[in-house]
């Protein structure tokens, strides 16, 4: 019996990475006077690290830290935190300005879950303010009242660790085996499956070529025949079953 429907945010609710988060990061770098700009290709590589603060730290480790942060002291942590706060403000402005649309089928599937009185959650490694803005603005206040957001640093270990999905199950007092997750990346897929949950993958701009072999269902978007009945059937079919789609 299906007990909950859980979404990732970036790439699932909205295809945000290339024209949302990347743009906001670059604007934050420019505002801070840093001669740094992430290309589409570079940001794609950084996406293999979950979390915006973690991506910046990885990039600085690999390409060099700004001169003002020589050494490994707290100044580096402050730089990361301040950049991320500014980036979040810039990203939220993009969302609130309607620059990025909701992905096909998302609102319909949320409405079906709400009509069936199923808990709906969003579990993301992104900043909680940014995720809540996506939910509030793009899904609207009526849906947002029924959606619980788990995001940012709410857990110590980020995806592919299953901690955030296990926290959602624990919060709602659910059996993970009765939850269906919608993800778009291999990292998120591994987190969902490690939590013991069924997982639908909706491929996004940056994840088209990733390995989704262990997914229960793979589609280009949720309009490809995905409804609440599909989700329920996944809970009775093995991951290698006939619902796989290329």
Residues annotated as catalytic (active site), given as ranges: 8, 10
**C-alpha torsion 164→168→174→177, nearest 10:** -30
Residue from 123, 138, 107 nearest 20 by CA: 138
Measured between alpha carbons, how far is 94 from 227 in angstroms, rounded to an integer? 29
Whether the upstream peptide bond of residue 130 has omega within 30° of 0, thus cis, is no
Contacts of 124 (CB under 8 A, 6+ apart): 8, 9, 10, 131, 149, 150, 151, 152, 164
Measured between alpha carbons, how far is 28 from 84 in angstroms, rounded to an integer? 8
Whether the upstream peptide bond of residue 160 has omega within 30° of 0, thus cis, is yes
- DSSP bridge partners of 246: none
Sign of CA dihedral 206, 209, 214, 217: positive
- DSSP bridge partners of 217: 200
DSSP secondary structure code for residue 211 in this structure: -
Measured between alpha carbons, how far is 224 from 105 in angstroms, rounded to an integer? 8
How far are the Cα atoms of 9, 140, 171 from residue 99, in angstroms, in the given order? Answer: 16, 16, 33
């Amino acid at each position: 019996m299906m007990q909950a429907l859980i979404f990732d945010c970036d790439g699932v609710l909205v295809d945000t990475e290339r024209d949302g988060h990347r743009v906001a990061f670059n604007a934050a770098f420019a505002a801070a006077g840093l001669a740094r700009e992430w290309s589409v290709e570079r940001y794609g590589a950084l996406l293999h690290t979950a979390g915006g603060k973690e991506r910046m730290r990885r990039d600085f480790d690999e390409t060099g830290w700004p001169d003002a942060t020589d050494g490994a002291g707290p100044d580096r942590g402050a730089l990361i935190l301040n950049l991320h706060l500014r980036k979040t403000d810039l990203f939220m402005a993009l969302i609130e300005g309607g620059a990025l649309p909701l992905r096909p089928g998302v609102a319909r599937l949320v409405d079906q879950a709400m009509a069936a009185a199923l808990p709906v959650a969003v579990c993301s490694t992104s900043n909680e303010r940014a995720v809540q803005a996506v939910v509030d603005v793009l899904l609207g206040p009526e849906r947002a009242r029924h959606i619980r957001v788990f995001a940012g640093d709410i857990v110590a270990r980020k995806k592919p660790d299953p901690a955030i999905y296990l926290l959602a199950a624990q919060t709602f007092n659910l059996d993970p085996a009765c939850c269906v997750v919608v993800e778009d990346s291999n990292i998120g897929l591994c987190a969902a499956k490690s939590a013991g949950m069924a997982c639908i993958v909706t491929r996004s701009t940056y994840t088209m070529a990733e390995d989704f072999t262990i997914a229960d269902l793979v589609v280009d978007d949720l309009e490809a025949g995905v409804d609440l009945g599909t989700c329920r059937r996944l809970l009775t079919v093995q991951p290698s079953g006939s619902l796989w789609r290329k």
